[in-house]
Structure 1
């Protein structure tokens, strides 16, 4: 510990905000002081419905493994926060990028709205967008793979 004192009431207030907003984590940075408060969140499994023949009811194991490995892909751009992902700057506007788009380092790829603030998610390197893993207007978690730049 660096000897920096934190206000327990402020930490309790951050925890209260987590509960009220259903967030899993919140961080406050003030100068050289940093407080991160997190909580365990139980996420219900998501069911994806795909129009397919009746014989193909369960997802293929290879597909499940691929989704799990997206965040560890060397070209994965992951979410730095919990929020809502937006692929375009405003409703009806063209998306920042599409599959096959060439991007340069620092180019805006998408936005994440967190606590009524829109945060630009920028390309960490130049390359081509090979996959977009989120849909506009959907919630994302910290560390979730958003897209792949190769």
Structure 2
């Protein structure tokens, strides 16, 4: 090589593996006067049209009723709402006991649930001491900012 820069094919393969494992699209390593940049082009997902039979009206009514109940709970003074967009989890890990149950007494600052946002698990803590009277979400439920999560009385 005329330029004097030595490339390690094993190191480049390792960087490519890191890109695949982490779903990154690009990684760059700079050391003194040397620079290695590995870029992975990811094809956009293909849209697939699925034709499904229309859902019966009776199946929609319970969903509408539960949405109305959740909105009513949002007005309750003891409602704990989501401070962020993410996915809610009621237990610290799959198969573990949940942080809370209906009827459980909690202390101020106690962890009630986790919300995963951008691959970070954020603890949602009790704003005050009280008793859990309603849990409005299930584990793995996507939540929006301000969405009612549970009622603490």
> TM-score over 0.5 for the alignment?
yes
CA deviations 1:31-78 (Å, max 9, x no partner) are xxxxxxxxxxxxxxxxxx9xxxx9x66349876543212112100000
Describe the SS at the equivalent of 1:106.
coil
Partner residue of 2:85?
82
Q: What are structure 1's unaligned runs of at least 5 residues?
A: 1-48
Partner residue of 1:130?
133
Any residues of structure 2 matched to 1:29-108 within 5 Å, and which?
58-59=61-62, 65-108=68-111
Partner residue of 2:115?
112
| Number of aligned residue pairs | 98
RMSD value, Cα? 2.3
- TM (normalized to structure 2)? 0.58
- Distance change (3 Å), C-alpha of 1:92 and 1:64: closer
- Distance change (3 Å), C-alpha of 1:61 and 1:133: closer
- 2 CA distance for matches of 1:86 and 1:69? 22
Describe the SS at the equivalent of 2:69.
helix
Q: Which structure is larger by alpha-carbon Rg, 1 or 2?
A: 2
- 2 CA distance for matches of 1:95 and 1:140? 18
Q: What are structure 2's unaligned runs of at least 5 residues?
A: 1-54
